[in-house]
Amino acid sequence: MKKLLIVIVCLIQISAMSQQPIASNSIYVCPPCDNSCDDLKYKKSGKCHICNMELITKGELRNYQKPKEMTIAFYLQEGVEILDFAGPLEVFTVSGFKVFIVSKTTDPIVSQGVLKVIPDYSILNAPKADILAFFGGNGQVAAQDRSIINWIKKQEKSVDYLFSVCTGAFFLGQAGVLDNQTVTTFHMSIESLKQSFPKAKVLSNVRFVDNGKIITTAGISAGIDGALHLVEKIYGKERAKLTSIYMEYDKWVPGEGLILSKN
């Protein structure tokens, strides 16, 4: 992971070379973010052109507390579809998030009938995360488990974002957080989601839907686009774009979903 971050930082440096900012006696600086822009100085307030963070004065820098690394709990159930979670895991890891794997227990699970995965934590000992993420592949059935739903309910108010790919939306629905939200899911489960959660507005033919706190995506490969959107939302377009370049995912179309809230 360190290697990946170094690569991202290098990419950011290369990108920065074309737009040299003022490096003399200036008053605005970028809040420390472990990128090359930590050493830059600006004459005007505004946003850092590299990491997109709001610039602060040198005086503010003395009392500045660096925000902690965003953490994401990936909940993986037995039978979870591999690309559902692997696409977002690639995106979030390359973008500098800290991802950990949670399952009902710490016993190995089998993804896609093939890949044996050892979870980092069970729902009994998982640390608090900033984002909870859920994925399809047996999602509709696994979401019937009350112990998992109770685990979500205990923390859904305190997390920053709830993210689902494919039939991972059924976990969020069972936890009661899809009421009055506009959402999507795997193309073959649209009707089932509608029937299961009639208070949600379920859309088809959309790559992701962003309600602000709750982001749901269409099936399988759409998780990649939803994750890139969340990176863009949290860290800005530059970081999301560099991640897509690193991944050679030039098929990414920023904003290719329904964005109902930018917060």
Binding residues (CB under 8 A) for a second copy: these are 1-2, 4, 7, 81-83, 86-87, 89-90, 93, 99-101, 108, 112-118, 120, 186-188, 218-222, 224, 246-249, 251
Least gap, CB of 89 to a second copy (angstroms): 5
> Looking at this protein, which amino acid is placed at residue 150?
N
Pairing of strands 131-134, 161-165: parallel
Please state at what angle helix 222-235 crosses helix 237-246, rounded to 10 degrees.
140
Burial code of 135-164, b = ≥16 C-beta within 10 A, e = fewer? bbbbbbebbeeeebbebbeeebeebebbbb
Beta-bridge partners for 28: 42, 57
CB nearer to a second copy: pick between 52 and 184: 184
Q: How far is the CB of 211 from a second copy (least distance, A)?
A: 20
Of 31 and 96, CB closest to a second copy = 96
Q: Angle at the Cα of 98 (from 96 to 104), degrees rounded to 5?
A: 150
Nearest-approach distance from CB 186 to a second copy, in angstroms: 7
Of residues 35, 13, 52, 70, the one with CA closest to residue 237 = 52
Cα gap 118→107, rounded to integer Å: 7
Nearest distance from C-beta of residue 219 to a second copy, angstroms:
4
CB of 97 to a second copy, least distance (A): 10
Nearer to a second copy, 23 or 188 (CB): 188
Write down how long the chain is. 263
In three-state secondary structure terms, 171 is: helix
Kindly state the DSSP code that residue 55 receives in the 8-state scheme: P
Q: Compare residues 28 and 85 and give the one whose CB is closer to a second copy.
A: 85
Task: Compare residues 43 and 251 and give the one whose CB is closer to a second copy.
Answer: 251
Tell me the closest approach of the beta carbon of residue 114 to a second copy, in angstroms.
5
Judged by beta carbon, residue 68 or residue 116, the one nearer a second copy is 116
**CA–CA separation, 37 and 7 (whole Å):** 15
What is the nearest approach in angstroms of a second copy to the Cβ of residue 205?
10
Among residues 154 and 251, whose Cβ is nearest to a second copy? 251
Amino acid at 246: Y
